[in-house]
């Protein structure tokens, strides 16, 4: 009896050990499966919802703008926009390439126009498309672009061209100017480059751009005064009554000469002035004291060129 009881006890012990080992094995498998599930993308209705790395975050931004710039050094840079399904908006890129600047014979800057944004829809936020309108008409007048809008009445033509530019800006910003608070520099650059590609007279034509924040110097303005170059000056006018800074404003910069004088197209007039540095920033001070002083944010230089390679 003692021998049988001892044998039975050993059998129970072995059984308990086997059950314990099986339990540990099953627990280990369950844990491994849980760990695997953590790293697999979860799906809802066939769409992966796991957080994928943001490819745009891996590219440096160009001078505190929203343009993502590729590495490397190039003589010219152009804009590209790509739709981002995740963000439901465009990502903007500054892509480099080689090329040659387009030469313009003669000094034709006296033929720039200065349209009054008050004559166009939503005038309070119309500075961006008005500046591009002034530039587009000059480009088409001197052989760079093919005009797609034909109308015998010049004022009607300009209204139609303004509308075309405004629709391009709306497509880029995804909001109307009034809801977006105006036209930002990024949208203006992209719009002008795309308009040039759509209306170019020559086979290959793009728009190089550089953005430089204040403080600027006279050489920056003198450099944009040749060939088909121009500038978009971002400023904040000062209220003449209260002295307060008003909202951001964009003007077309036409030229800068060796004396330091700068000419801009603004509200239907040509304003001449100089750079003045003050403790609160750099200012455009007009020669005419009845005009607004404007604190400078940045200057965007635009250079049409022919890509190569």
> 162: closest CA among 142, 189, 132?
132
* 246 DSSP 8-state letter: -
- pLDDT band of residue 132 (cuts 50, 70, 90) is very high
Beta-sheet pairing, 67-69 with 89-101: parallel
Q: Does 135 map to a domain?
A: yes
Residues across the chain: 309
Name the token pair of 205: 């034509």
Are residues 153 and 295 located together in one domain of the fold?
yes
Are residues 119 and 213 located together in one domain of the fold?
yes
Give yes or no for a contact between 197 and 205, defined as CB atoms under 8 angstroms apart. Answer: yes
Q: Does 3 map to a domain?
A: no
Are residues 152 and 275 located together in one domain of the fold?
yes
In total, how many domains does the chain have?
2
Given 45, 79, 101, the domain boundary residue is 101
Dump pLDDT digits (tens) for 159-199. 999 999 999 999 998 877 877 677 888 899 999 999 999 99
Are residues 188 and 115 located together in one domain of the fold?
yes
Are residues 177 and 231 located together in one domain of the fold?
yes
Whole-angstrom distance, CA of residue 186 vs CA of residue 243: 28
Given 101, 128, 159, the domain boundary residue is 101
Dump pLDDT digits (tens) for 263-304. 999 999 999 999 999 999 999 999 999 999 999 999 999 999
Name the token pair of 249: 């404003």
More confident residue, 60 or 260: 260
Q: Which domain holds residue 304?
A: 109-308
Whole-angstrom distance, CA of residue 296 vs CA of residue 122: 24
Whole-angstrom distance, CA of residue 161 vs CA of residue 137: 9
**Mean pLDDT of all residues belonging to the chain:** 84
Pure H helices in 208-292:
218-223
pLDDT of residue 15: 46
Are residues 69 and 134 located together in one domain of the fold?
no
Beta-sheet pairing, 76-84 with 206-213: unpaired
Q: Does 299 map to a domain?
A: yes
- Quickly tell me which residue has 């590609």 as its tokens: 197
Over 50: is that where the pLDDT of 48 sits?
no
Q: Does 289 map to a domain?
A: yes
pLDDT of residue 103: 95
Longest dimension (CA), the chain: 123
* CA angle, 265 then 271 then 272, to 5°: 125
pLDDT of residue 206: 96
- pLDDT band of residue 11 (cuts 50, 70, 90) is low
Are residues 272 and 225 located together in one domain of the fold?
yes
Q: Does 47 map to a domain?
A: no
CA 106 to chain centre: 32
Beta-sheet pairing, 249-256 with 47-48: unpaired
Task: Summarize the confidence of residues 42-63 as an average pLDDT.
Answer: 47
> 82: closest CA among 74, 94, 73?
94
Whole-angstrom distance, CA of residue 71 vs CA of residue 293: 39
Q: Does 242 map to a domain?
A: yes
pLDDT of residue 4: 45
Name the token pair of 306: 């022919």
More confident residue, 255 or 61: 255
Are residues 92 and 199 located together in one domain of the fold?
no
Over 80: is that where the pLDDT of 58 sits?
no
Task: Summarize the confidence of residues 206-235 as an average pLDDT.
Answer: 97
More confident residue, 183 or 153: 153
Are residues 156 and 93 located together in one domain of the fold?
no
Q: Does 74 map to a domain?
A: yes
pLDDT of residue 201: 87
Task: Summarize the confidence of residues 41-69 as an average pLDDT.
Answer: 54
More confident residue, 49 or 117: 117
Give yes or no for a contact between 134 and 115, defined as CB atoms under 8 angstroms apart. Answer: yes
Are residues 190 and 74 located together in one domain of the fold?
no
Q: Does 2 map to a domain?
A: no
Are residues 77 and 215 located together in one domain of the fold?
no
Over 60: is that where the pLDDT of 153 sits?
yes
CA 109 to chain centre: 27
* 1 DSSP 8-state letter: -
Given 65, 80, 101, the domain boundary residue is 101
Pure H helices in 248-296:
none
Q: What sign results for the dihedral spanned by CA atoms 241, 246, 251, 253?
A: positive
Are residues 113 and 97 located together in one domain of the fold?
no
Over 60: is that where the pLDDT of 57 sits?
no
Give the domain CATH number at 289. Answer: 3.90.70.10
Whole-angstrom distance, CA of residue 244 vs CA of residue 240: 8
């Amino acid at each position: 009896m003692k021998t049988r009881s001892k044998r039975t006890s050993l059998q129970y012990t072995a059984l308990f050990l086997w059950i314990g080992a099986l339990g540990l094995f099953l627990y280990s498998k369950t844990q491994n499966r849980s760990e695997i599930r953590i790293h697999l993308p979860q799906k809802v209705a066939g769409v992966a919802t796991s957080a994928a790395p943001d490819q745009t975050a891996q590219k440096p931004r160009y001078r505190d703008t929203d343009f993502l710039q590729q590495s490397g050094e190039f003589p010219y840079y152009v804009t590209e926009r790509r739709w981002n399904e995740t963000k439901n908006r465009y990502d903007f890129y500054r892509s480099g390439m080689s090329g040659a600047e387009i030469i313009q014979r003669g000094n034709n800057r006296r033929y720039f126009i200065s349209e009054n944004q008050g004559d166009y829809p939503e005038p309070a936020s119309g500075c961006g498309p008005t500046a591009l309108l002034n530039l587009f008409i000059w480009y088409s007048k001197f052989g760079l672009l093919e005009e797609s809008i034909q109308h015998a009445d010049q004022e009607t033509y300009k209204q139609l061209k303004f509308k075309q530019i405004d629709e391009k800006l709306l497509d880029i910003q995804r909001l109307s100017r009034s809801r977006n608070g105006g036209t930002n520099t990024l949208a203006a650059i992209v719009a002008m480059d795309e308009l040039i590609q759509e209306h170019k007279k020559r086979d290959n034509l793009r728009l190089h751009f550089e953005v430089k924040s204040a403080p600027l110097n006279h050489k920056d303005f003198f450099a944009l005064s040749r060939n088909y170059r121009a500038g978009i000056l971002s400023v904040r006018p000062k209220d003449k009554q209260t002295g307060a800074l008003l909202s951001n404003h964009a003007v077309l910069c036409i030229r800068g000469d060796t004396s330091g004088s700068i000419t801009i197209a603004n509200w239907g007039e040509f304003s001449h002035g100089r750079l003045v540095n003050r403790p609160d920033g750099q200012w455009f001070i007009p020669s005419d004291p009845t005009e607004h002083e404007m604190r400078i944010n940045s200057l965007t230089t635009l250079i049409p060129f022919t890509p190569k390679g």
